[in-house]
Amino acid sequence: MDLKLTNKVAIILASSDGLGKASALEFASEGAQVIISSRNESKLKTVANEIRQTTNGKVNFFPADVSKKEDIEALVRTTAEKFGSIDILVNNAGGPPAGTFKDFTDED
């Protein structure tokens, strides 16, 4: 299936394992340039290599703790500078309690 993701830039959070890793694999399979992120740099390196070998896709990684504002800013800034845009964000990381986007502050 062609989801028209070729050369789109996708950041996938919490992607060193589980659902995030599976999502990153699928985006790479569809031709997206994938940036995987989690707190564990050694796992990110391993996962990036696995995805590259499986898909022959473009995969980069950036270690970040998304509970820290400065890590989020660095991830977004670095990705935008390197790739020129960010087309897709998969916010797979744990977060605040249920509610709408407008209900939350940055601290939440």
Q: Output the pTM of the full model.
A: 0.85
Structure tokens at 103: 């209900």
What pLDDT score was predicted for residue 83? 93
What pLDDT score was predicted for residue 107? 73
Beta bridge pairs of residue 12: 36, 90
Looking from the CA of 94 toward its CB, the CA atoms found within 13 Å total 4
What pLDDT score was predicted for residue 108? 67
What pLDDT score was predicted for residue 40? 95
What pLDDT score was predicted for residue 99? 77
Please tell me the total number of residues recorded for the chain in this structure. Answer: 108
Rounded CA separation 55/76 (Å): 24
Q: Which residues of the chain have pLDDT under 70?
A: 1, 94-97, 108
CB 37 within 8 A of CB 49: no
